[in-house]
Structure 1
Amino acid sequence: MAYFTIFASRNHNHDLDGLIQEVFRDKFKISGSAEGTRQVEIQPKGWFNRGRITIRIADEDSDPAYFENNIPGMMGFYQAIPFEDGDLQHRVMMQISVINTMLAIETEKELREEEQRLFVQLAGKVDGICFLPDGTLLDRDGRAIVTPDGKSGPAEFRPRACTKKVRGEDRSTPEGLARKQRSLAYIKEKGIPLLETLPELPPLEELRVKSREEIARRAVALLIVIQYACDIAQDGDLRESREFVEEMLDKFGVKDELTAAERDLLEQAEPASRDAINITWQYEAYWALLWALGVLDELGLPVETCDCDFAINVVASCESFDEFLEKTALRRPEEIADEADKMYRLHWACVNERIKGQPAPAGMNESIVVERRRALFWMIGYRDEAWDDISMDT
């Protein structure tokens, strides 16, 4: 047996049977492809051409359990691969997060080059990516995206997501529309490209905005772990650093606030430099938390990195969590949601220019945008996503 899997993000799959017919009908007999069937049998024509091909089809509407059970595992697999290109890993993870269609292809004999060519052709028609059993990912044209050892292939890969998966059912509310219009006015004033059709964020009554204490605890825990990540990135004394971090987590009583990724970093015997660097960038997310807690007057455009010395001292000058909490005054939920909406649209502008091979507009730094968006979307409880899992679709 040989296996070849196609994953895609599609608004509908009514055309799958027809696409399979287009690819295989010249040299194969196809059965079981009537409307609504979830398995297609493909038999080579001719007496001596043995070797049946079976295509099993699943999508999120007909088989939600498959995606609930398997997509997290797929994300974990590629999260663990040591990508030589961190940005490529981010793009692969984004792609996996929006997958809602799977075509699992099984052949009775070893996969031949001609068969793989046809399978890649099918991937191109469904606008998907190809997964090989060893973990290699191919793009819709059959070019390698990444190999199991983390090496980048020749594919110039960009995630593709259907509007149904990314946006859900687009709808408008008076509150969401007013917020969107405020963001667009701000962005136009700055001369930054915008996309009028990006959807609105839900109204506050449909979100779960975090409390002042929840935000403060996340801020303190994050800041402490960032210090450890910085020591890793700078080849510091990790034993001493880890002891200091454990002491600070206990002192401020925020150990339970660590995310899975942060705990993993602290528990690694030999922490990966890339994991540490990713967390050090979250200084910018921490900066947004401080803004929401009223410690900063404004965030401004995401152009310059935050003042790390000030960021550290805000907490380091306190003897307890309660002392830090007393320094804070949570901004109105409307204000935090407005900033989240604005950052969402600024993120689109950065991605749009990057795709065109251009620098981010208005001098923005996309990494700062991403981390601010992480914090802001977490604070408003968008889709109730965990800190490590905030989606970055644009």
Structure 2
Amino acid sequence: MNYFTIFASKNNIDDIEVKISDVFVKGFAIDKNDNEYVIKSKALFKKYKLIIRVMSEDSNPDYFANNIPGMMGYYDNIPFEDDNLKELVLTQISVLNTVIAIESEKEINEDQLQLFTNLLSSIGGIGFLPNGTLLDDEGIVIVYHDGLSGPSNFRPHACTRKVMGQEVTSEEGEQRKNNTIVYLKERAIPYTTSLPQLSPIEACQFKTQEDIARRAVALLIVIQFACDVAQGENVDESREFFVNMLRKYDVDNYLTSNERDFLHTSEPNGKEAINISWQYEAYWTLIWALGFVEKLDFPDEVCDCEYAIQVVSNYESFEQFYLQTTMRSQEEILDEADKIYRYHWACVDSRIKDQAAPAGMNESIVMERRRGLFWMIGHRSEEWDNMSMDT
């Protein structure tokens, strides 16, 4: 192993140079060039060199745009032993904005690993090993590369800038936020005023009616395949049938990359099949936006799956289906997105406190509805498979 990487969520990187100097103060010479540090040991017989590169979302925006979604996808696909831990890890990744990449010219030994762990503890964040194992800020394993849980009692950390700094404030957004809080108060659901506004309508990148309709049909079809996989049906026969359905409705291009991989792999993963099956709830928000569902009920019971299927199966082509859609207003969709955002915070807050979700909410339903609603409003331009779930 020649690499050790520290990922963190920080308001700025001004203090990192001091922290590097403190950790390598004894027995090392440090040369700095911009945000790259060359560290050479002074030992007579055990000389070695380290290169430490510091990157932030400000200094290297392309790195974060290209790598964080991939990191989200990587850990989303790992078969975590603990689904709750998986959500915590994905939440942490979604708010990362700083990287300290350490490269050693030789294999990293235990003494060096201890130094890197000291730097990790000083900076805060998570440590990433080349095999995919994650460490907390004390160097304790959060999760192993194969999804087994480590002994860490891990909780995500986000800097105030990452949570609040990108907020687009507006009178419209503040009014929407306040209306939701009034609604939550009436139902005795916990809330926090520090959770940001959602962007106003003019700052959102709403999906078109046709994009939502095609996404809904494609998603329903892959959900049906996932249900067959989860129930032990003949995978080859099921795949052939649903691939033909995608072609029939002309929506094959509206599968996500994860869905396409799942559909065409020779032995689909059963756990992934269950996760995709839960996306009935995300699909439900899409057909609500298209006018097939009268209202989004409180997220304490799963949607009507039989009706969800009939919404599409009643029609022989996408064109017939699309002609029956009636798009809801952007205001309605954004109102529901704001509400689900604050529902999710209440669920996470209760879970962290080892309490049941308030008012009988089902957090899995909340998360999938959030996926659908946030995708429709174009939140942060995030893709369906990698919608951040930070609260």
- Match status 1:205 vs 2:198: no
Once the two structures are TM-superposed, the CA of residue 73 in structure 1 deviates from its matched residue by: 4.1
2:43 pairs with 1:32 = no
1:303 matched residue in structure 2: 300
Q: Return the alpha-carbon distance in structure 2 between the equivalents of residues 304 and 223 of structure 1.
A: 19
Conserved? CA contact 1:51–1:109, under 8 Å? yes
Give, as a single letter, the amino acid of the residue that structure 1 aligns with 2:156. Answer: P
TM-score in terms of structure 1 length: 0.92
Letter in 2 for 1:284: E
- Unpaired segments of 5 or more residues in structure 1? none
* 2:350 aligned residue: 353
- Counterpart of 2:232, as a letter, is D
- 1:379 is matched with 376
Partner of 2:211: 214
Instruction: Report the 3-state secondary structure (helix = DSSP H, G, I; strand = E; otherwise coil) of the residue aligned with 1:5.
Output: strand
Kindly state the Cα deviation for residue 346 of structure 1 after the two structures are TM-superposed: 0.8
Query: In 2 relative to 1, CA 124–198 (structure 1 residues): closer, same or farther, beyond 3 Å?
Result: same
Aligned to 2:99, the other structure's residue is in SS state: strand
- 1:133 aligns to what? 130
1:87-117 Cα offsets, whole Å, 9 max, x none, are 4334333333332211122334443323322
Secondary structure of the residue aligned to 2:103 is strand
- Report the residue type matching 2:7 in the other structure: F
Tell me which residue corresponds to 1:223: 220
User: Does the C-alpha gap of structure 1 residues 66 and 381 become closer, same or farther in structure 2, counting only changes over 3 Å?
Assistant: closer
Structure 2 residue aligned with 1:9: 9
Stretch of structure 1 that moved more, 71-80 or 130-139: 71-80
- CA RMSD after TM alignment: 2.1
Q: More displaced, 326-335 or 74-83?
A: 74-83
Q: Secondary structure at the match of 1:102?
A: strand
**Residues 167 and 198 of structure 2 are in contact (CA less than 8 Å); yes or no, is this contact kept in structure 1?**
no
Report if the CA contact (8 A) 1:30-1:40 is conserved: no
2:255 to 243, 253, 258: 258
Alignment-mate amino acid for residue 11 of structure 2: N
The number of residues matched between the two structures is 391
- The TM-score with structure 2 as length reference comes to 0.93
- Establish whether residue 183 from structure 1 lines up as the match of residue 154 from structure 2: no
Q: Equivalent pairs: percent with the same residue?
A: 55
Q: 1:21–1:30: 8 Å Cα contact kept in structure 2? A: no
Change (3 A) 1:316 1:69: closer
> Residues 67 and 172 from structure 1, CA distance in 2 versus in 1: closer, same or farther, beyond 3 angstroms?
closer
CA distance in 1, matches of 2:262, 2:167: 38
Structure 2 gaps, min length 5: none
Equivalent-residue separation in structure 2 for 1:317 and 1:342 (angstroms): 31
Matching of residues 166-181 of structure 1 within 5 Å: 166-181=163-178
Deviation at 1:64, TM superposition (A): 2.5
Please tell me whether the aligned partners of residues 299 and 362 of structure 2 are also in contact (alpha carbons under 8 angstroms): yes
The offset of 1:221, in angstroms, is 1.4
SS at match of 1:193: coil
1:352 shift after superposition: 0.9
Contact 1:28 1:42 in 2 (8 A): no
SS in 1 for 2:37: strand
Deviation string, structure 1 residues 232-278 (Cα, Å, up to 9, x no partner):
00101112211221232222222222111211111110001122111
1:94 aligns to what? 91
Partner Cα separation in structure 1 for residue 329 and residue 103 of structure 2: 55
Q: Distance in 1 between matches of 2:69 and 2:308?
A: 34
2:340 aligns to what SS in structure 1?
helix
Give the superposition deviation at 1:80: 4.3
